[in-house]
Structure 1
Amino acid sequence: MTDHPPTGASRFQLRPLLLALLVFDLLVMGLAGWTLANSRRQYVVHAGETTDNLAQVLEQYLLASIRQIDLVLMSVKDEAERTDLPPNAAGIEAHLKSQFSRMALLDSLRTTDARGRLVPLDGSDNHAQVDLSQRSFFKHLEQTPQASLYISHPSRDGAGGAWVITLARRMERPAGVFRGVIFATVTLEQLTRELAQVNIGKHGSISLRGKDLELLARYPTTNDQDKLIGDTRISGDYLEAVKSARQVSHFSTSSVLDRQIRTYTFRRMSNPPFYILVGLAESEYLQTWYREALLSGSAALGLVSLSLVLAWMARSTWRKQMDSQAERDHLIQDLTQALTEVKNLKGLLPICGHCKKIRDDQGYWNQMETYISEHTEATFTHGVCPDCAQDLRREMLARRAAPDQS
C-alpha cells in the first residue's frame, strides 16, 4: 500500500489532539512538581519545629541542672557562713559530701581557702596543697564581693586531665570578708553523654557553646573532638544567627565538620549565656518524602507515557483513515473518469455495414448492444418492429407453402 502523507486538512484536524496531549503532559508534570515541592517544604517546616522543641527541652534541662548545682553550692556556702567553721571542718566536709552524692552530673565539689588553696578532705593536713589562686573563677570571685554564680570557660582538670567547666560561688565571713570559694566541676565528656540522650537520629547533631562561643560539647563526637573544645570559630548561617541577636533562628546548611546537610534551630540562652544548636539531617527526615517523590514521579511518568502511546495510536489510526480515504478518493476519481469517458462517448465508430458490429480500441468486433452497454449506462430490451414483423410473416408463410408445391 502506498503511504500517502496526510493532507493539509487532516494535519489541521490532528494538530489540536496533539496539542491537547502536550498540554496534558505539561499539566501532569507541573502538578507533580508543585506537589512534591510543597510536600518537601512541609517536611522542612516540621523538621524546624522538631529541632525547636528539642532546643527548648535542652534549654530547660541545662537551666534545671545549673539551678540544682547552684543550690548545692548555695547550701554549702550558707552552711559554712552560718557556722563560720573552717572549710575543712568535719561538719562542712560532711555536708559537702552529702550534697555531692545527690548530683550525678558533678565530677567534683570542693572548696578553697581565702588564699586559693584547695582545702583537703578527710581533715588531712596536706602541706602540698593545690594552689588555685590563678584560676579565673577564683580571681573573679575574690575581686567581686557581690558576684553571683560564676561559670568558667572550659579548662583542663589538672595537667593533661579531662576538659571541665567550673561553677563557683564566693564564700564570706559574717563581716563580709572573703573566706574562699565553693566550686563544682562538670566534665564536658559527661555533658556530651547527656546530650546524646536526645533523639536526633543517626546523622543529627547537637552543640553547646559558652558565652564567648567557645565549644563546650558536641554530639556526635568526632575524632578530633578533644581539639575542638574551646574553639570559638563559627561561620555561615550560624554566625549570622549569632549576629542577629535573635533568641531563636532557623536555617538549613551543610556542616563544615561532616558535610551533612541539616535543618538547624539556634537558641540563645540569657542566663547562663549559652548557645544551643540542634540539627536534623535531611537524609533522614526526608526519607519518607523521597519515597513519595519516587511514587509521584513514577505515576506522572506513567501518565505521560500513556498519553504518548495514545497519541501514537491516534496518529496511526488517523493515518490509516487518511490512507483509506485516499484509496477511496482515488477509486472514485477513476470511476468518475471512466464514467465521464462513457457519458461523453462520441466521434467516429467503426461499424460493419452488413452485421452492424462495432470495432473497439483493441481491434475486436463486438455486437452493437454489447459495445454500447460497456461504454454507456444504457441497457437493451429486444422486440420486433412492424416492418420486420411483416417480413417475418411473409417468410414464415412462404416456408409453410413450400412443401405443398412440391
Structure 2
Amino acid sequence: MVNLFVYLIVGTSLYNSRKHYDKLAEVTTQNLAKSLEANVSDILDKMNIVLFSVATETERHLSSRRIDKASLSLFAREQIRVLPELDRIVIADSSGTVLCGSDNTANSVNLSDRQYFSRLRSDPDLQLVVSNLLKGKVTGQWRVAVARRVNNPDGTFAGAAIGTFDVTFFDKLFSHLDIGKNGAVGIRDAEFKLIALNPKGKEAASQIGSDVVSQKTRDMVRANPVTATYKTVFARDNMERMVTFRKAAKYPYYIFATLSPVDYMTSWRKEAVGGLVLLLLFTSMTLISARFLYKSKVNALLHAEAKRYGDEMRQQNEELNAAISRVKRLEGIISICSYCKKIRTEEQSWEQLEKYFSEHSDAMFSHGMCPDCAAEQQRIFREAASSKKDPNDYH
C-alpha cells in the first residue's frame, strides 16, 4: 500500500510535469509564430511603401503623357537601395508587357498571365496584391511578387509596379532561430505551397513548392483562419510535433512554428528517469523492510506459539503429576474392615469407603443395589411380614 501510494504521487507528478512541458512548448511556438508573423508583415509593409512610391512616380509620368523608361528604371534602382530585401522592381503596362525595371529587364517579358496582374486589372478598388509562390520567368527561381496598381489620369488601369524577392531571403531570416534538432519554422502560401523552411529536410515534402501537409493542418486552418496551436504528425517524416500557425495580417501567408517532443521533452525524460530510479530504490528498500518485518513477525509468532505450547505442556505435566500423585496415594496395602468395610487412614482413623476414595482419587460414587442384595432384602422383608399377625402392626 505504501508503494502504491508513492507510485501514485510520482505518477501524478510526472503527468503534471509532462503537461507543463507541453504547455511551455505551446507558448514557445505561439510566441515564435507571432514574432515571425510580425517580421514578415513588417517587410511586406515596407515593400508596399516602396512600390507605392514607384507606382506614384509612374502615374506622374503618365500624367505628362510620356514615360521616361530610363528615369523610371533609375528610380526603381534607388528604391532597391532603400529596401534591399527586394531584388527586382519592374513596371508593366496595361497589357502586362514589362516597360522597364531596376535591372533593365527586356521588353519581351509579359506578365499578363500572372494571377496577381489579372486581379489588379479586373478590380479597380484593389491596390495591392501579394502573390502565392511563383517561378521567375527569367531566372526560373522561386520568388514572391508584390504588385501595386498603376492608374491612368482618368482612373483606368494602366499597368502595375511589381517587386519580387527570392524566397531564400526567409532562410536568412530564420537562420538565427534555435528550434531544436527536429523543430522547424516555415511559411506557406494560401494554397499551402511551401515558400520557406528551416531547417530543410532531404525528403520531397520539405522542398520549396511542396504542398504536402497533414489533413489535420488543413482542417485546423479551415476551422481557425487566423491562428491555432495543436499537435499533429507531419506527413513528410511521420513525426509528431507541436504546431502553431499564424496568418499574416494583410497577406496570404501562413507562418508555422513547430517543436518536436523529442526535443522539448528532453528535460522531462530526465525527470522521469530520475523518478523511476528513486522509485526503484524506494521499492527495494520497502521490499527489504517488508522481508525483515515479515521475518520478525514470523519469529514473534513462533516464539508466542512455543511459549503457548510450553505453557500447555507445563499445565499438562502438572495435571499428570497430580494424577500420578493421586494414583500413588491409592497404591500399596489398604486396611479395610472385613465387616463394615471402613478403611483405616494414615491417621489411624476409620472412614467410610466412599469418603476415602472421594478424597484420595477423582472417583465419585452413586448408590444402587446389586441383584443378589436385592433378592436377599426381599426375602428378609417377606419373612418379616409373614411373622406379624396384624398387618397394621407393620405400620
TM-score (structure 1 length as normaliser): 0.73
Aligned counterpart, 2:2: 24
The reply on whether 1:93 has 2:73 as its aligned counterpart is yes
Aligned counterpart, 1:318: 297
Question: Following TM superposition, by how much is the alpha carbon of 1:346 offset from its aligned partner in structure 2, in angstroms?
Answer: 3.4
CA contact (8 A) 2:214 2:233 kept: no
The reply on whether 1:327 has 2:306 as its aligned counterpart is yes
CA contact (8 A) 2:243 2:256 kept: yes
The reply on whether 1:135 has 2:114 as its aligned counterpart is yes
Amino acid at match of 1:91: S
The DSSP-based 3-state class of the residue aligned with 2:99 is coil
CA distance in 2, matches of 1:125, 1:29: 73
The reply on whether 1:109 has 2:89 as its aligned counterpart is yes
CA distance in 2, matches of 1:352, 1:125: 150
Question: Following TM superposition, by how much is the alpha carbon of 1:270 offset from its aligned partner in structure 2, in angstroms?
Answer: 4.1
Q: Any idea what the Cα deviations from partners look like across 1:16-70, whole Å, max 9, x if unmatched?
A: xxxxxxx211110001111110111111111101111111111111110100011
Question: Following TM superposition, by how much is the alpha carbon of 1:160 offset from its aligned partner in structure 2, in angstroms?
Answer: 7.1
The DSSP-based 3-state class of the residue aligned with 1:277 is strand
Amino acid at match of 2:42: A
Aligned counterpart, 1:198: 177
Aligned counterpart, 1:56: 34
The DSSP-based 3-state class of the residue aligned with 1:180 is strand
CA distance in 2, matches of 1:43, 1:229: 32
CA distance in 2, matches of 1:123, 1:50: 41
Amino acid at match of 2:250: N
CA contact (8 A) 1:88 1:120 kept: no
Amino acid at match of 1:60: A
CA distance in 2, matches of 1:270, 1:205: 21
Amino acid at match of 2:12: W
The reply on whether 1:169 has 2:154 as its aligned counterpart is no
Amino acid at match of 2:196: A
Residue 73 of structure 1 is aligned with which of 30, 45, 51? Answer: 51
Distance 1:162 1:271, change over 3 A: same
The DSSP-based 3-state class of the residue aligned with 2:109 is coil
> Mean Cα displacement is larger for which, 117-126 or 212-221?
117-126
Distance 1:309 1:342, change over 3 A: same
The reply on whether 1:33 has 2:5 as its aligned counterpart is no
Distance 1:291 1:44, change over 3 A: same
Larger relative contact order (C-alpha < 8 A, sep ≥ 6)?
1
CA distance in 1, matches of 2:212, 2:199: 18
Instruction: Please identify the structure whose Cα radius of gyration is greater.
Output: 2
The DSSP-based 3-state class of the residue aligned with 2:44 is helix
CA distance in 1, matches of 2:28, 2:310: 77
Question: Following TM superposition, by how much is the alpha carbon of 1:188 offset from its aligned partner in structure 2, in angstroms?
Answer: 2.0
> Mean Cα displacement is larger for which, 29-38 or 197-206?
197-206
Question: Following TM superposition, by how much is the alpha carbon of 1:81 offset from its aligned partner in structure 2, in angstroms?
Answer: 1.5
Question: Following TM superposition, by how much is the alpha carbon of 1:325 offset from its aligned partner in structure 2, in angstroms?
Answer: 2.5
Question: Following TM superposition, by how much is the alpha carbon of 1:149 offset from its aligned partner in structure 2, in angstroms?
Answer: 0.9
CA distance in 1, matches of 2:28, 2:206: 30
The DSSP-based 3-state class of the residue aligned with 2:197 is strand
Residue 149 of structure 1 is aligned with which of 128, 131, 145? Answer: 128
CA distance in 1, matches of 2:42, 2:220: 25
The reply on whether 1:305 has 2:284 as its aligned counterpart is yes
CA distance in 2, matches of 1:246, 1:125: 38
Name stretches of at least 5 consecutive residues in structure 1 with no aligned partner: 1-22, 354-406
CA contact (8 A) 1:51 1:279 kept: yes
Question: Following TM superposition, by how much is the alpha carbon of 1:352 offset from its aligned partner in structure 2, in angstroms?
Answer: 10
Question: Following TM superposition, by how much is the alpha carbon of 1:351 offset from its aligned partner in structure 2, in angstroms?
Answer: 9.5
Q: What pairs with 1:2-401 in structure 2 (closer than 5 Å)?
A: 23-84=1-62, 87-120=67-100, 129-158=108-137, 161-224=140-203, 228-344=207-323, 345-347=325-327
CA contact (8 A) 1:192 1:219 kept: yes
Question: Following TM superposition, by how much is the alpha carbon of 1:112 offset from its aligned partner in structure 2, in angstroms?
Answer: 1.9
CA contact (8 A) 2:187 2:253 kept: yes
Question: Following TM superposition, by how much is the alpha carbon of 1:192 offset from its aligned partner in structure 2, in angstroms?
Answer: 3.5
> Mean Cα displacement is larger for which, 25-34 or 108-117?
108-117
The DSSP-based 3-state class of the residue aligned with 2:314 is helix
Amino acid at match of 1:61: N
CA contact (8 A) 1:87 1:93 kept: no
Identity of aligned residues (%): 24
Question: Following TM superposition, by how much is the alpha carbon of 1:78 offset from its aligned partner in structure 2, in angstroms?
Answer: 1.0
CA contact (8 A) 2:136 2:142 kept: yes
CA distance in 1, matches of 2:44, 2:26: 27
Name stretches of at least 5 consecutive residues in structure 2 with no aligned partner: 334-395
Amino acid at match of 2:154: A
Question: Following TM superposition, by how much is the alpha carbon of 1:291 offset from its aligned partner in structure 2, in angstroms?
Answer: 1.2
CA distance in 1, matches of 2:103, 2:67: 10
CA distance in 2, matches of 1:186, 1:226: 23
CA distance in 2, matches of 1:310, 1:222: 55
Q: Any idea what the Cα deviations from partners look like across 1:243-271, whole Å, max 9, x if unmatched?
A: 21352222112212123321111223341
CA distance in 2, matches of 1:295, 1:88: 75
Amino acid at match of 2:171: T
CA distance in 1, matches of 2:138, 2:50: 27
Question: Following TM superposition, by how much is the alpha carbon of 1:187 offset from its aligned partner in structure 2, in angstroms?
Answer: 1.7
The DSSP-based 3-state class of the residue aligned with 1:347 is helix
Q: Any idea what the Cα deviations from partners look like across 1:220-279, whole Å, max 9, x if unmatched?
A: 212255885444453343122112135222211221212332111122334113222211
Amino acid at match of 2:319: T
Q: How many residues align?
A: 330
CA contact (8 A) 2:183 2:258 kept: yes
Distance 1:118 1:224, change over 3 A: farther
Distance 1:157 1:226, change over 3 A: farther
